[in-house]
Amino acid sequence: MVVSMMASKDGGNNSCDLKTARLWRDAALRSRKLRSSLRQLTLTCGEQSKLILPEDLGDVEVLNLGNNSLEEVPDGLRSLAAGNLHVLILRRNKFLNVPSAVYELGRLTELDMSHNRLTCLTEAVGLLSQLKKLCLSHNQLQTLPRMIGGLLNLEELDVSFNRISHLPDTMQGLPRLRTLDLDHNDLCSFPQQLLHLPTLEELDFSGNKMLGCNCGGSLPEAIKAMKSLKVLWLSSTGLCSLPDSFYELVSLESLMLDNNSMSSLPAGFGSLQKLRMINLSSNSFQDFPEALLQLHELEELYISRNKLSVVPEEISRLFRLVTLWLDNNRIRYLPDSIVDLGLLEELVLQGNQIAILPDNFGKLSKVNIWKIKDNPLIQPPYEVCMKGIPYIAAYQKELAHSQPAVKPRLKLVLMGVRDSGKTVLRHCLTEGQQATPIMANKGIEVTNWTADAERGLTFIVYDLAGDLSYDIIKPFFLSPGALYVLVVNLKSYISKHFYMYVGYFLHFISAKVPHAVVCIVGTHADLCDEKEIEEKCLDIHHQISIQEKRDSKTLHNMAEVVDEALCQDYDMRASNPHAAFYGVNDKNLRRKKAHFQYLMNNRLQILSPVLCVSCHNYSNIRRLRDKLLSVAEHREIFPNLHRVLPKSWQMLEELHFKPQELWLTWWDSARLGLQAGLTEDRLQSALSYLHESGKLLYFEDNATLKEYVFHNLTKLIDILNVFFQRDASVLLQKLVSDNKVDELRSSQLHHYVEGFLLHGLLPNHIIKLLLKPHIKTHHDLQLILELLEKMGLCYCINKPKSKPLNGATAWYKFPCYVKNEVPHAEAWINGTNVSGQSLAVEQLQIEYSFPFIFPPGLFARFSVQINNHIVQRSDGKFQIFAYRGKVPVVVSFRTATGSLRSDVLSISSHASLPNIWTAWQAITPLVEELNALLQEWPGLHYTVHVLCSKCLKRGSPNPHTFPGALFPMTSHLTLGGLKFRDACVALC
């Protein structure tokens, strides 16, 4: 048994100035304040199965027996009736009834029996006449006893997440009740008893589903009697309107009406002049409610996920607004007056149709929570807007300083399998002539193509190698606003290999760039007869249609499962480990549903038909060229092509293209900025834009790299091509180019090449030899290696955390090259023994499943990103053994085969009881690194599950799974772990 005691002399006078949207949390804070001066005792079972109370508890005022899985209270609890016990906490246990001993504690002022299995509360509750706070949430109560009305001192009552269908008439006799939580019960109409509670200030009636238009239910006109109400929650009740008398609730400060069916507010709503927060999200408003404009004291307004198309100019009347959420509507523009909301700290606009932000938008300098993605932004450019308000301010200020400039230029990305004809097609397009024999592209190549000099229309053409070894770097060149050309060799194409030739690339592009525009070009048409061309083109389109329908159906089915879960009560999901979304709250489910809707609404735009070309017939190439120009100039498809830039930014870009060095120092770049008219303080924003738009690389968040600007992408790509060249003879040739290399030296170099291609290992001096044409000094080498590590391509396996290597050879690991299935390679360099998987009492395992596509190169990049978190690592091709401190962790990847229909990446750890929480703590930073990488794939669908530890322990081939939401991503490790452990016990 573990005992902890706390006594405080603090009188609890500290006050918290929290936003009104968090008033329910205030209630818990108030409770803690009241207890802070009391003598407290917390008891936990530990490894014992039974709690034993200490003998002398006469001075204890707060007794906490929560989180112990108790089914009965310890012996001796009755003896505390004569003592000073005021607060009893029995939450998160397994009580079926309130123990009779509890009813004998007549001095109790607070009783918490939430998260138990109570099915009824007896009339004996009337014996607890001194109660001020009673918490019975998350149980299975169907009604409340009449004697609840006898608790004349009761101030707070929480019976949320039960099955209560009616309230006793005696409830109206509670003269001091201030806070009542009825959230998620089975009340089919608004209880009349609540109209007679004179002191009620906070009421949560959310989640009582039958209060809607279809069943004739609504709020009663008599609700105006609740004059003291300050906080009212009516979320997810099915309301489609409010009664006209609602405006008489003049004390209201906080109102939650989200997830209903409302389309208007009643006349007189503007009379609620004390209202500070209102949530109207997930309703059916088509017009911005004018009544809101009269609420001059309003500080928080949430009106997300409606059907708004216009925000009125009069929004500036709400000059006290601190929070404004307008996301996922149909808003095409913002009023100029929005910049007058000078107190705004949160502005959420994502998922609308906004193309241009108002002038002087940078005046909203206090905004620190800013979301604008999924809008067709032209001005400021998308890349600027995504960086935040300070960058928008800098852009608009720069636009005022210099002339605006429009430079039509579009990114054109050529993709396809090896030998599809991409490189020849690129030369035909860019050089404007028939093809001559050309060597196939051995890497990534970039070409500037002036497609129409008169209109100044140019393309930056990226030719991505078809070799799979380049998969890790290909995603870096896929970005929004580009035109993707998928090249298919019609001569070699066969129907049964559709996914390899076409389907895979569509999944790849869709996961990285949702709603991208894809043009499919069939090459080698001169080698096929007309019938063959027609059949293959029809087959490609037919199979694309099948794949798209299958994917859409899968997403639709998953969305339906979420809808079904939302129709259930939360307490059903929280109490049934077999439920589809066990323990996941409604808010997270709605977020998941919104993501499914986003994926369904942002399918690829695949142009039809397949454009067939032969590089020996330039007339076909000319037709393709005209088609690309026509698509590129379509404003609705590519609005970014016509975006406005400050002329100084355009000049800076052009000036950076001239120097031939691999990089420039910050000061060299600053000198170029002065030539463009940019002072040093204005340079940062311009460089940030050029980085975000893929014109150069500038990492302002890295202490070393922020001193350099990598402006020469062509040379940088040449360097990347060196490291993803898998031809041993080519690599060896780079190393032995010096004629003075003797036989012994040549043998050593050959050994290094073999080690690189097998284990991905290279020492820094060999890397320097490979990059000899590109780098000159040791500093150059270190900078390149720092850049490669930042990009997630390699890491140093023996770099000390703080001290330099003192002349020792630094070894670098390129995870994408590891071929050995079983980890073993680094032990001989590190001088350590690699331990195998340890036998442990409990295992924690998180699985990420990818039903459509696993992002190319993700495992290798993840391997690099976690290096700073782990020690004594040993890598296999798709498995990593390592330690977090003294805790073993394993990262592994399995491809879809047979019954395994999805690619799966798992992160697991082991620990012995009672230290299982160390396993949660061990893998938390790894999960966070993976989640950060997955954020780069906005169109990717994946699921996260926690595997049942009991199933894993007994070696079950099909362990039970729980939603990834059970995995604690914050410091609340114990809470998440307890829920997970309880679920495992319930199932197994």
At 678, list the tokens: 């940019």
Closest CA to 352 of 287, 290, 307: 307
pLDDT band at residue 966 using 50, 70 and 90 as cut-offs: low
User: How far is residue 606 CA from its own chain's centroid?
Assistant: 27
- Least reliable range by pLDDT among 377-391, 497-511, 731-745, 883-897: 731-745
Q: CB under 8 Å to 852, separation ≥6 — which residues?
A: 507, 511, 551, 554, 940, 941
**What pLDDT score does 484 carry?**
95
Q: What is the mean pLDDT of the chain?
A: 83
Q: Residue 63: is its pLDDT beyond 50?
A: yes
**What pLDDT score does 438 carry?**
60
Alpha-carbon Rg for the chain in angstroms: 33
The residue assigned the tokens 């799979």 is 468
∠ CA(531), CA(534), CA(539), 5° rounding?
A: 125
Q: Give the chain's domains with CATH numbers.
A: 1-117 (no CATH), 408-640 (3.40.50.300), 821-987 (3.30.310.200)
Backbone angles phi, psi at 706, to 5 degrees: -70, -10
At 875, list the tokens: 């890598």
Are the C-beta atoms of 520 and 607 separated by less than 8 Å?
A: yes
Residue 388, amino acid? G
User: How far is residue 406 CA from its own chain's centroid?
Assistant: 34
Q: Residue 574: is its pLDDT beyond 50?
A: yes
Give me the sign of the Cα torsion angle 156, 162, 166, 169: negative
* DSSP summary character for residue 900: B
pLDDT tens per residue, range 656-685: 988 888 899 999 999 999 998 888 888 989
Average pLDDT over residues 525-536: 92
At 446, list the tokens: 């970039």
- Least reliable range by pLDDT among 129-138, 700-709, 933-942, 954-963: 954-963
**What pLDDT score does 217 carry?**
55
pLDDT band at residue 472 using 50, 70 and 90 as cut-offs: confident
Q: Residue 6: is its pLDDT beyond 60?
A: no
Q: Residue 713: is its pLDDT beyond 90?
A: no
Query: d(Cα 316, Cα 318) in Å, to the nearest integer?
Result: 5
Instruction: Compute how many other C-beta atoms are within 10 angstroms of the C-beta atom of residue 214.
Output: 9
pLDDT tens per residue, range 10-47: 333 333 333 433 444 444 444 444 445 568 888 877 65
Give me the sign of the Cα torsion angle 897, 901, 904, 910: negative
The residue assigned the tokens 């608009």 is 396
- Least reliable range by pLDDT among 198-207, 501-510, 746-755: 746-755
Closest CA to 758 of 833, 816, 798, 810: 816
Instruction: Compute how many other C-beta atoms are within 10 angstroms of the C-beta atom of residue 608.
Output: 10
∠ CA(713), CA(715), CA(721), 5° rounding?
A: 100
Q: DSSP E strands: which ranges in 651-730?
A: 664-665, 708-709
Query: d(Cα 101, Cα 88) in Å, to the nearest integer?
Result: 12
Q: CB under 8 Å to 776, separation ≥6 — which residues?
A: none
Query: d(Cα 145, Cα 168) in Å, to the nearest integer?
Result: 7
Query: d(Cα 671, Cα 654) in Å, to the nearest integer?
Result: 14
pLDDT band at residue 351 using 50, 70 and 90 as cut-offs: confident
Q: CB under 8 Å to 703, separation ≥6 — which residues?
A: none
Closest CA to 340 of 371, 368, 310, 364: 364
Percent of all residues in the chain with a pLDDT value above 70, rounded to a whole number: 85
**What pLDDT score does 634 carry?**
79
Average pLDDT over residues 48-73: 83
Residue 628, amino acid? L
**What pLDDT score does 407 carry?**
64
Are the C-beta atoms of 349 and 331 separated by less than 8 Å?
A: yes
**What pLDDT score does 976 carry?**
46
Query: d(Cα 20, Cα 202) in Å, to the nearest integer?
Result: 11
pLDDT band at residue 450 using 50, 70 and 90 as cut-offs: confident
Omega cis (within 30) before 168: no
**What pLDDT score does 411 carry?**
87
Give 285 or 7, the one with higher predicted confidence. 285
Average pLDDT over residues 837-855: 77
Are the C-beta atoms of 395 and 685 separated by less than 8 Å?
A: yes
At 333, list the tokens: 């523009």
Closest CA to 211 of 232, 179, 184, 230: 184
Beta bridge partners of 300: 277, 323
Q: Residue 230: is its pLDDT beyond 60?
A: yes
Query: d(Cα 848, Cα 942) in Å, to the nearest integer?
Result: 7
Closest CA to 201 of 157, 222, 158, 231: 231
pLDDT tens per residue, range 374-432: 888 888 888 899 889 999 999 998 888 877 766 667 889 999 998 898 988 988 888 87
Instruction: Compute how many other C-beta atoms are within 10 angstroms of the C-beta atom of residue 512.
Output: 23
Q: Residue 868: is its pLDDT beyond 70?
A: yes
The residue assigned the tokens 């005046």 is 363
At 795, list the tokens: 């890491």
Q: Residue 800: is its pLDDT beyond 70?
A: no
Q: Residue 192: is its pLDDT beyond 70?
A: yes
Query: d(Cα 704, Cα 144) in Å, to the nearest integer?
Result: 65
At 410, list the tokens: 């579009």
- Least reliable range by pLDDT among 468-482, 623-637, 831-845: 831-845
Residue 260, amino acid? N
Query: d(Cα 486, Cα 170) in Å, to the nearest integer?
Result: 72
Q: CB under 8 Å to 856, separation ≥6 — which residues?
A: 471, 472, 474, 475, 508
What sections of 437-529 are H helices per DSSP? 498, 504-512
Residue 372, amino acid? I
Query: d(Cα 313, Cα 297) in Å, to the nearest integer?
Result: 18
The residue assigned the tokens 């009825």 is 182
Give 582 or 238, the one with higher predicted confidence. 238
Three-state DSSP state, 898 = coil
Q: Residue 1: is its pLDDT beyond 60?
A: no
Q: CB under 8 Å to 512, separation ≥6 — which residues?
A: 475, 478, 855, 936, 937, 938, 939, 940
Q: What's the predicted TM-score (pTM) here?
A: 0.77
Closest CA to 913 of 15, 46, 29: 46
Are the C-beta atoms of 370 and 614 separated by less than 8 Å?
A: no
Query: d(Cα 697, Cα 691) in Å, to the nearest integer?
Result: 5
User: How far is residue 184 CA from its own chain's centroid?
Assistant: 27
- Least reliable range by pLDDT among 202-211, 702-711, 801-810: 801-810
Give 743 or 301, the one with higher predicted confidence. 301
Q: Residue 213: is its pLDDT beyond 60?
A: no
Give 804 or 221, the one with higher predicted confidence. 221
How far from 906 is each of 414, 946, 961, CA to CA, in Å? 33, 10, 13
User: What proportions of the chain, in percent to the nearest 5, are helix, strand and coil?
Assistant: 35, 15, 45
**What pLDDT score does 898 carry?**
63
**What pLDDT score does 593 carry?**
83
Q: Which long-range contacts (CB under 8 A, 24 or more apart) does 307-315 make?
A: 311/335, 311/338, 312/288, 313/337, 315/288, 315/341
**What pLDDT score does 383 carry?**
84
Q: Which long-range contacts (CB under 8 A, 24 or more apart) does 100-104 make?
A: 100/124, 101/73, 101/77, 102/73, 102/77, 102/128, 103/127, 103/128, 104/78
**What pLDDT score does 837 carry?**
43
Give 82 or 182, the one with higher predicted confidence. 182
* 2-6 and 40-44 strand pairing: antiparallel
